[in-house]
């Protein structure tokens, strides 16, 4: 067995909740160009409450993996089960319903800048309300109350009426997280959520993502370049290299040898 595969399959895994909100990725392959796989054969099972850091060099397929999971792009083959439902087979309204259950947090926040913080959070409910209500931005009272609760959770109650473009990067990312949780997702995906933020704010955002996983009993997957931060906050680290998973285990088991395997070379290691 290849050393990389061996280490991926024998590492310890964290004990996470065995609730009904889960992610299973089976034999996932993605080729943008025929015969040139960016993801070769990815297998992952992530239970609720588990925060997983996905690390690996640029171009190794981390974003492609998240984009396959939320069906922004079509996998070439394999299965992706969200809470037991294979989302790769879904089309039309079934796919839209499934995508509501997948929350997404972006590096550049993806807020609507001219809308208020409250309106941005409520955007997380757009997939649940009728088109005319969405057009008029008339949200049910229970959604508004929940949005206030989430703004409280992310520490932005006093900014509810502020425009998104008046906020700092860290505050914007908090709004992005509140918006994603507003969807009542079964899983949450975060693609480089801290790479535009200072170190202190990055720590706060990772703490918040951990809290979201634990309070909502959902798996949270975070693509992250900052290995130290990923190790510190994740229950599990998945190391990718050239489209394969080469490490999968608890942060304490991730050694310099694994990091060399993931990133190549060793001069960069302190
Ligand atoms: N839409 C696309 N069409 C063709 N190739 C693509 C497309 N998106 C990504 N790729 C290629 O797939 C490979 C993996 O890219 P991806 O963005 O998933 O890597 P990554 O690990 O997330 O990198 P980074 O850490 O820099 O964001 C790269 O070679 C990239 O050029």
Q: CB of 37 closer than 6 A to ligand 1?
A: no
Q: CB of 61 closer than 6 A to ligand 1?
A: yes
Nearest residue by C-alpha to atom 2 in ligand 1:
32
Using most ligand atoms within 8 A of CB, pick from 36, 39, 62, 68 the residue to mutate for ligand 1. 62
Q: Tell me, what's the pLDDT at 19?
A: 64
Q: Tell me, what's the pLDDT at 127?
A: 81
Using most ligand atoms within 8 A of CB, pick from 38, 53, 57 the residue to mutate for ligand 1. 38
Q: Got the DSSP string for 105-161? A: E-TT----TTSBHHHHHHGGGGGGS-HHHHHHT---HHHHHHHHHHHHHTT-GGGTT
CA 99-101-104 angle, to 5 degrees, is 75
User: Would you state the CATH architecture of domain 3-101+185-263?
Assistant: 3-Layer(aba) Sandwich (3.40)
Of 23, 16, 27, the residue nearest 84 (C-alpha): 23
Q: What is the pLDDT along the chain (270 residues), one digit of tens a residue?
A: 333 444 454 567 776 666 678 899 999 999 999 999 999 999 999 988 899 999 999 999 999 999 999 999 999 999 999 989 999 999 998 998 999 999 999 999 999 999 999 999 999 998 888 777 777 778 889 999 999 999 999 999 999 999 999 999 999 999 999 999 999 999 999 999 999 999 999 999 999 999 999 999 999 999 999 999 999 999 999 999 999 999 999 999 999 999 999 998 777 776
Q: In angstroms, how far is the first alpha carbon of the chain from the final one? A: 30
Domain extent listing, the chain: 3-101+185-263, 112-182
Of 198, 192, 218, 230, the residue nearest 106 (C-alpha): 192
Q: Tell me the ipTM for this assembly.
A: 0.97
């Amino acid at each position: 067995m290849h050393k990389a595969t061996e280490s991926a399959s024998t590492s310890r895994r964290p004990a996470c909740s065995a609730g009904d909100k889960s992610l299973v990725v089976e034999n996932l392959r993605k080729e943008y160009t025929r015969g040139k796989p960016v993801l070769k054969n990815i297998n992952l099972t992530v239970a609720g409450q588990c925060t997983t850091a996905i690390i690996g060099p640029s171009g190794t397929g981390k974003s492609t993996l998240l984009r396959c999971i939320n069906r922004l792009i079509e996998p070439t083959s394999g299965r992706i089960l969200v809470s037991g439902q294979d989302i790769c087979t879904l089309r039309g309204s079934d796919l839209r319903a499934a995508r509501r259950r997948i929350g997404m947090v972006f590096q550049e926040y993806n807020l609507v800048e001219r809308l208020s913080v409250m309106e941005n959070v409520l955007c997380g409910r757009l997939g649940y309300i009728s088109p005319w209500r969405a057009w008029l931005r008339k949200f049910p009272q229970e959604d508004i109350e929940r949005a206030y609760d989430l703004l409280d959770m992310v520490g932005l109650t006093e900014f509810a009426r502020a425009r998104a473009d008046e906020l700092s990067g860290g505050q914007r990312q908090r709004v992005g997280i509140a918006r994603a949780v507003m969807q009542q997702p079964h899983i949450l995906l975060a693609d480089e959520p801290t790479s535009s933020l200072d170190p202190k704010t990055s720590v706060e955002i990772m703490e918040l993502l951990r809290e979201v996983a634990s309070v909502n009993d959902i798996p949270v997957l975070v693509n992250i370049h900052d290995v130290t931060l990923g190790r510190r906050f994740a229950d599990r680290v998945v190391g990718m290299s050239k489209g394969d998973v080469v490490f999968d285990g608890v942060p304490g088991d991730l050694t310099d040898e694994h990091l060399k395997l993931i990133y190549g070379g060793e001069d960069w290691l302190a």
